[in-house]
Amino acid sequence: QVQPVESGGGLVQAGGSLRLSCVAAGRTFSSYAMGWFRETPGEEREFVAAVNWNGERTYYADSVKGRFTISREHAENTVYLQMNSLKPEDTAVYFCAASMYGSPTFRREDYAYWGQGTQVTVSS
């Protein structure tokens, strides 16, 4: 079992950067793909980015491609989301999730373990 815990959210001006971290306690961290999703009030939780079990393959939503980078450090049981060139429409609660599979996917139902979320607010 894996329990993700996010950190690194905050308030930033448009054009700025933030790095989110997700520590996923559990001895099987290295076996699973990891993903980031985000949610705004009244909207469904949407896929942002995912990385496969060994960090060699990544997958991004079109809306963040070229601006966000997902990576993982097995020694630290941590997944990162580097967010650059932030826009007001990136404002959301960001969730880290551990997949049931080794390959990265965009489907919420493929992720079994979820963190509590961290707020990211981008001002214009």
Place of tokens 């493929």: 110
Rg (CA), the chain: 13
Q: What is the pLDDT of residue 109?
A: 96
| pLDDT grade for 88, boundaries at 50, 70 and 90 | very high
**pLDDT at residue number 27:** 62
Across residues 99-122, what is the average pLDDT? Answer: 95
Examine the pLDDT at 26 and tell me if it is beyond 90. Answer: no
**Using CA atoms, how far apart are residues 35 and 52, in angstroms rounded to an integer?**
9
CA 16 to the chain's CA centroid: 18
Position 2 pLDDT exceeds 80: no
Give the CA distances from residue 103 to residues 32, 81, 107, in Å, rounded to whole numbers and listed in that order. Answer: 8, 18, 12
Q: Rounded CA gap, 34 and 45, in Å?
A: 16
